[in-house]
Structure 1
Amino acid sequence: MTAHAKSTAENTPENTPESTPETPPENRVDDAPLSRFHKKLALYSSGGPFLDGYVLSIIGVAMAQITPQLQLSDSAQGLIGASALIGIFLGAFVGGWLTDRFGRQLLYTIDLVAIIVCSVAQFWATDPVWLFVLRLLIGMAVGADYPIATSLLAEFTPRRYRGPLLGGLVVMWFVGAATAYIVGEIMLSYGGDDAWRWMLASATLPATVIVLLRHGTPESPRWLANKGRAEEAEAVLKKVYGPEATIADLPTEERENVDLKAIMRSGYGGRMLYITVFWTCSIVPLFAIYAFGPRILDALHLEGGLANIGEALITVMFLTGCVLALFCVNRMGRRPLVIHSFVWSGVALLLLGIFPDAPSNVIMALFALYALIIGGTQILQWVYPNELFPTEVRGSAVGLASSASRIGAAVGTYLVPVALTAWGIGGTMLAAAAISLLGAGVSVLWAPETRGMSLDEAATLPDRSPRSPRSPESLRV
C-alpha cells in the first residue's frame, strides 16, 4: 500500500458505510447500507436494556440474604421486587417527554450517571424503606433510557435493519439478566453476609463503561429537522451517511397538532392502547419470573442453588429465543410473530399450571419452551412503539407505553409472593398463562404490520398518506 493510500485509509471516518452499492440507493437514509456507526450505536443503545435486565434480576438472587437480614414480610419482598418497575413507570414517560423536548443526545448519558450513583448507595442500605427508595430511583433512570436510546437508534437505522437492531436491544436485556444470575450466584457463594450489598452495587461497573462509550454520539437528524435546525441536521447526515446526504433525504413528518394529547385524539389512541396491552401481557409473567425466579423454581421442586442455576439456564433460553425472533421479524412480519409468540408461550405456562408436580426435567422443559417462544413478543416491545408514532412524539409515545405497561408489571411482581402463598404454584402459573393468552387475543384483533415500511410510512395512519420529501428551504429559520 502506498503512503498516500495508507493515509487515505487512515483518515476514513469510522462511520463510513462498510460497502458502497454500485448504484445510489433509493433514499440515502432509509435505504442506506449498514455502517460501523449503526452497529456501534446499536451496541451503545443496548446498554440501557442490559442494565435493566441486570438490575431487575440481581434482586432475585440477593433476596435470599436480604429477606432474613432485614426481616422482610411477603408484602415487603413484593414491594422491593417491584420498586424498580415502579421507577420505570415514573421514569419512562418523563424521559420520553424530555427527549422529545430537549433532544435524544442530551439525556443519552445523564440517565446512566444516576444509575451509577444509586447503585453505589445501595451498598449502605440498612432498612427496607431506604432500599426501596434507591431501587425506585434506579428504575426511574432505567425507564428514562428506554425512549431516549430506542428513539435515537430508530431514527438513524435504515428500514431494512430497523427491526433486527431494535429487537436486538431486548437480547441485551437477557444478556444482562443471565450475567446477573451468574454474578449473583458467585457472590452468594463467596461474599459472606454482605454478598447482597456487593450484588446490588455491582451494576456500577457496566454502567460506567456504557457512559464512556456513549460519549460523542450525535443528535438525531430527524429530531433536529423537526425542530427547524436544518443546518445541524444536514451536518449530522453528511457525517453518518456520506457527503452526498442532504436534508432532502429525510421525508417530512410534519403533522397538525403534534403534541401527544392531540395525536391520541387524532387516531393514534388505538395504537397506544394496543402497544400498552401487548407490552403489559408480554412482561408481567416474565418480570415475575425474574424477580422471584429462584422461589418459583423452588416451589416447582428445584431447590437452593439448583434453582438459581435453573434460572440462569432459563435466561439463556430467553436469550436464544430473542435471537431466533430477530431472524423471524423481517421474514415472518411483525403481526404473525407476535401472535404465535403469545399463543405458544401461553400454552407452556398453562401446562405448568396444570401439572405443577411434574418431574423436574419436565418442569425445566416447559420453562425452556416458554423462554424460547416468548422471544417474539420481547423484541417487538422496542420495534412496534418506535415504528407506529411520528418523530415529534416518538419518545413520549414509547415512554408512555413503557410506563403504562409497568403498572401491570409492578402489580404482578408485587403479588407473586402473595399468590404463591395463597394459590400455590399451580394457580400462579395459570394466572400467568391467562395473561399471555390475553395478549394473543388482543394481537389477533389489533396488531398491525409494518414490515418493510419507512418510519414515516409506518407512523402514518391507514387513512392518511405520508408527506413528500422535505425541502431544505422549508426548514431553515
Structure 2
Amino acid sequence: MNITYEEAVKRLDNVNVRPIHIIAAIIAALGGFLFGYDTGIIGSTLVYVTPFFHLTPLDVAILTSGTSIFAGIGALAAGPITDKYGRKSLLIIDGIMYAVFALLSALAFNSISLIVWRSLVGFAVGADTAIATAYIAEFSPKKWRGSLAITQQLMIFSGITASYWAGYILSFSENWRLMLGLGVIPAIILVGLRFLLPESPRWLLLNNKENIAKKVFNKFGALIRDDEIVMAPAKEPSFKEMFRNKAVTTAIIIVGIWLAFQQITGVNVILYYGPEIYKYLGIVGSTAILYTAISESLGAIEYAISFYLIDRWGRRKLGILGYAGLVVSWIIMLIGLRYFFSGILFIGVSLVFSAMTLFLLFFHVGVGGVGWVLQGETIPTEVRGRGAGILAAIDWFANAAIIFLFPIWETALGVYSFFGFELLLSIIAIIIVYLFLPETKGISLEQMSKAFEKGLTIQHSKSEDTTLPKSENININKKKN
C-alpha cells in the first residue's frame, strides 16, 4: 500500500507528546547550554584577561566579536552539510569541536592564541545553532513544536547562568583559565548523549532511507506499517531554486530581521559586558560578576512563562510582548544612569540593576526563545539545514557587529548614548514584528510556506486561525505563474 510523504509526516504531527519527544529535545538542545556558557563566561573572563594580556578596547572588541563572526561562518557551513549527511552526525561533531577548542582556549599563552581558539569555539557553537531547533521541529507534534523547540532557550539560559556563577566563584582566585576550561565537561557529556539520538525522521524519508525512517517514526508513536510504502517526495532543490521560491525567501527575510534585532537590541551587550557596565558605575571585580549572575538567574521563571505561552498565544503576540519589554527596560536604564550621573548613586545603581534584570526577563520570555523556534520551523524540510544555517548566521553576524561596536562606542561617547541607540532599535523591532510577522503556531512544517507565500505584507491585528488544510500545502519545487 502506497502512502504519500505528506500523509506519513501528518501522522508525526498529530501524535501525542511522548517521553522520547521530551528526552530527544533536551539532548538536542544541550548545545544551547554550551552556547549560553560560551556567551556568559566571556563577561567574567574579560575582567581578568584584559589586564592579564594588556588588551586594548580594540583587542576586546576583536576577542568578543571574533567568536560571533566564526559562529556565523560555522552556521553557514553546517547548513548544506546537514542537509546532505543528516542532523545527528553534525550534532555530534559540534560537541567534539567545542570540547577541543574550549580546552585550547583555557591554555592560551597570549592574546592572539586566545582570540584564535575562542573564534573556533564560536565556529562549533554556530554550527550547532544552525540545526538544533530545526532537528527538534522535525520530530515534534505540531501542537507541541513551540514548547519543545523553546527548550533551546532554556539551555541557553542555563548555560549563561552557570557561567556567571562559575565566574563569580572563580573570581576570588581570578582563575580565568578554569572559567574557560569548565566548558569541556558539558561538551563531553553532550557528545555521549547525542550518540543515543535517532536521526530526524523527516530527513530520513527525504533521503530515501525508508526502512530506518519507519523505525524512527514508530519510536515517536507515528506508526508506519511494514506493508506501507512511502512515495518519494519531490527532488531536493538546488540553492538557487531555494531562493526562487517566494515563501522561502520571505521567511528568510522576516525571520532573519527578527534574529538580527534579537541581537542588536543589546542582549549580549548585557551578557558579555555586564561586569564592565557595573564597573562604569564603580562596582568592580567579584561584585560586578555577582550582580550580572543575579540578573540572569531568574531565567527558570522566564522559561516557564515562555513554555506556557508560546503554543497558546503564539509566536507573534509573545514577540511583541518581548520587544515591548526591552523598550521599557532601556527607558529604566537611561533614567537610572541620569540619577547616577546626578550623584544620586543608590537610586541610580538600583535602577540600572532593575533594568538589566527586566531586560533579560523579557528577552527570555518573548524574544530569544521565539526567535530560535522561528528559525527551526519556518523553512521547508528539504532545505531546512541550509535555510536554518543562513538564519543562524544572520543572528551571529548581527551579534558580532553590536558587541564589536560597544567597547569602542563606550570609550568614545560613553554608555548613555549607546543605550539610547538600543532603545531606538527596540522600538523599530516592535514595529517590524507587528507589521510583518505572520503567526506560525499550529501549522505543520509541510504547510508552513502558506504563511509566507504572500511576501512582505501587513499582518492583520486580529488573531486568525492559522491551521491550514492539507490541500493548501505548498511544495518548494512547485513553479508559480
Q: Are 1:41 and 2:24 an aligned pair?
A: yes
Q: So what's the TM-score if we normalise by structure 1?
A: 0.87
Partner of 2:460: none
CA positional deviation for 1:466: 7.4
1:441-456 matches, cutoff 5 A: 441-456=431-446
8 Å Cα contact 1:167/1:380 also seen in 2: yes
Tell me which of 70, 73, 93 is aligned to 1:87.
70
Q: Gapped runs of 5+ residues in structure 1?
A: 1-24, 471-477
1:262-273 matches, cutoff 5 A: 262-267=241-246, 268-273=248-253
> Cα 1:201–1:165, aligned 2, differ >3 Å: closer, same or farther?
same
Percent of matched pairs sharing the same residue: 27
State the superposition RMSD in angstroms. 2.5
Partner of 1:424: 414
Moved more, 413-422 or 171-180: 413-422
Tell me which of 219, 244, 251 is aligned to 1:239.
219
Partner of 1:315: 296
CA positional deviation for 1:429: 1.2
8 Å Cα contact 2:298/2:361 also seen in 1: yes
CA positional deviation for 1:395: 1.4
> Cα 1:112–1:451, aligned 2, differ >3 Å: closer, same or farther?
same
Q: How many residues are aligned here?
A: 442
SS at match of 1:218: coil
Give the distance between the partners of 2:255 and 2:384, measured in 1 at CA.
13
CA positional deviation for 1:256: 7.2
Give the distance between the partners of 1:51 and 1:353, measured in 2 at CA.
32
Q: Gapped runs of 5+ residues in structure 2?
A: 1-7, 340-346, 455-467, 474-481
- Give CA-to-partner distance per residue, 1:43-90, whole Å, 9 cap, x none: 111211100110121111111111111110000011111222112111
CA positional deviation for 1:27: 5.0
> Cα 1:401–1:26, aligned 2, differ >3 Å: closer, same or farther?
closer
SS at match of 2:14: coil
Moved more, 266-275 or 350-359: 350-359
8 Å Cα contact 1:280/1:405 also seen in 2: yes
Give the distance between the partners of 2:121 and 2:298, measured in 1 at CA.
27
> Cα 1:460–1:98, aligned 2, differ >3 Å: closer, same or farther?
farther
CA positional deviation for 1:305: 2.4
Give the distance between the partners of 2:124 and 2:134, measured in 1 at CA.
16
Q: So what's the TM-score if we normalise by structure 2?
A: 0.86
SS at match of 2:245: helix
Tell me which of 371, 380, 401 is aligned to 2:360.
371
Q: Are 1:356 and 2:337 an aligned pair?
A: yes
Give the distance between the partners of 2:101 and 2:211, measured in 1 at CA.
39
CA positional deviation for 1:246: 7.3
SS at match of 1:219: coil
> Cα 1:225–1:91, aligned 2, differ >3 Å: closer, same or farther?
same
- Give CA-to-partner distance per residue, 1:308-331, whole Å, 9 cap, x none: 111011112345323312211122
Q: Are 1:386 and 2:376 an aligned pair?
A: yes
Q: Are 1:402 and 2:381 an aligned pair?
A: no
Partner of 2:60: 77
SS at match of 1:160: coil
CA positional deviation for 1:247: 10
Counterpart code for 1:317 = L
Counterpart code for 2:361 = L
Q: Are 1:179 and 2:162 an aligned pair?
A: yes
Tell me which of 157, 163, 167 is aligned to 2:146.
163
Give the distance between the partners of 2:63 and 2:232, measured in 1 at CA.
42
> Cα 1:180–1:245, aligned 2, differ >3 Å: closer, same or farther?
farther
Partner of 1:8: none
CA positional deviation for 1:259: 2.9
CA positional deviation for 1:301: 4.6
Give the distance between the partners of 1:39 and 1:386, measured in 2 at CA.
16
Partner of 2:287: 306
